[in-house]
Amino acid sequence: MAPSADDRLDLPAVGERQSLREQVAHALRAALITGEMRPGVVYSAPVLAAQFGVSATPVREAMLDLAKEGLVEAVRNKGFRVTELSDRDLDELTEIRLLIEVPTVTRLAAAGGTDGTGGAARFDPLRPLARKIVDAADRGDLIAYVDADIRFHLELLALAGNAHLVDVVRDLRGRARLYGLPALSARGGLAGSAREHLELLDLLAAGDREGTERLIRRHIGHVRGIWAGGTD
């Protein structure tokens, strides 16, 4: 099934800080996660490239990267089809994230108050990303929201010093589908989830292990609750 004329994606313009391939891949992952790119639809690299305002080459390269991750599959002479993800798949991905991220982030809180600044020096560099998440939620820009959200969580986990763990969570995040985000955003309900990132930084900086554990567990739980279209 090919996209219709009304299926133009709300893709961002790309800049120069990262390679075009990386920027396109980030934007496409976010579009996949929010459901902007729909399962079963075949997307053409040249058509997507025109929407990005770039040549087809970095888009095709980015789509091939996504295909290696199992997020899309190549359709000969047509483009790339978005793969399906079942509710069971999403349950299992969320379970793995909880097993990895909850103890890792909680350990970061344990070290948060040991630098003489209440942890601010360690966690404050993440505040601009947290504010980007809030700003994107306020604008209703779901692709920017998901992109900033993924970056925030990966950079936070990177503070634990385990690059392999970050790679695993990056893969898990890329495979998720948050089809409830558009409806949640339309109801004005995304702002609360967005502000949890700033609350999490406050708890981490204060070295509040119990508060951090409760919040990160609830936050990840949104994947199978309000972000998936259910209730939390």
Q: Which CATH number fits domain 87-228: 1.20.120.530, 3.30.70.3150, 3.40.190.10, 3.30.465.10?
A: 1.20.120.530
Q: If you average pLDDT over every residue of the chain, what do you get?
A: 85
Structural domain spans, the chain: 5-82, 87-228
pLDDT of residue 71: 85
Q: Is there a shared CATH topology between the 5-82 domain and the 87-228 domain?
A: no
Residue pair 36/10 in contact (Cβ under 8 Å)? The answer is: yes
pLDDT of residue 135: 96
Ranked by mean pLDDT, the top range of 14-18, 91-95, 124-128 is 124-128
pTM, two decimals, is 0.76
Fold topology of 5-82: Arc Repressor Mutant, subunit A (1.10.10)
pLDDT of residue 14: 56
